[in-house]
Amino acid sequence: MKNGFAGEVVPEMAPKENHEKSNGQAEATVKQVQGLVRTLREHVAFRLGEPIPGKHPVMAWMVEHAGTLLSLWLSKLINSLH
């Protein structure tokens, strides 16, 4: 008995095409966040006059900030359309 579970564990492999369809919205959101992070990074680098390394601590904040911006502004946009 492993971890208190006595049943059988059967791993399943989902076909790639099913995975992409089921996660389409999540994957689209990830692409939006990535795009906004690129934009924010380029803007800050331009303002500082030097590039921002990918491992710089500000990058973690930038990803979180991009997600927050998208959540706030997209919800406002959607609400204004209704």
Res 79: pLDDT: 75
Identify whether 7 is part of a domain: no
Identify whether 76 is part of a domain: yes
Domain count, the chain: 1
Res 48: pLDDT: 96
Identify whether 3 is part of a domain: no
Res 78: pLDDT: 75
Res 37: pLDDT: 96
Q: Could you say which residues of the chain have pLDDT below 50?
A: 1
Domain, as residue range, for 70: 27-81
Identify whether 1 is part of a domain: no
Tell me the backbone φ, ψ of residue 3, rounded to 5 degrees: 55, 30
- The pTM of the whole model exceeds 0.85: no
Of 75, 50, 53, the C-alpha closest to 62 is: 53
Identify whether 8 is part of a domain: no
Of 37, 31, 80, 43, the C-alpha closest to 61 is: 37
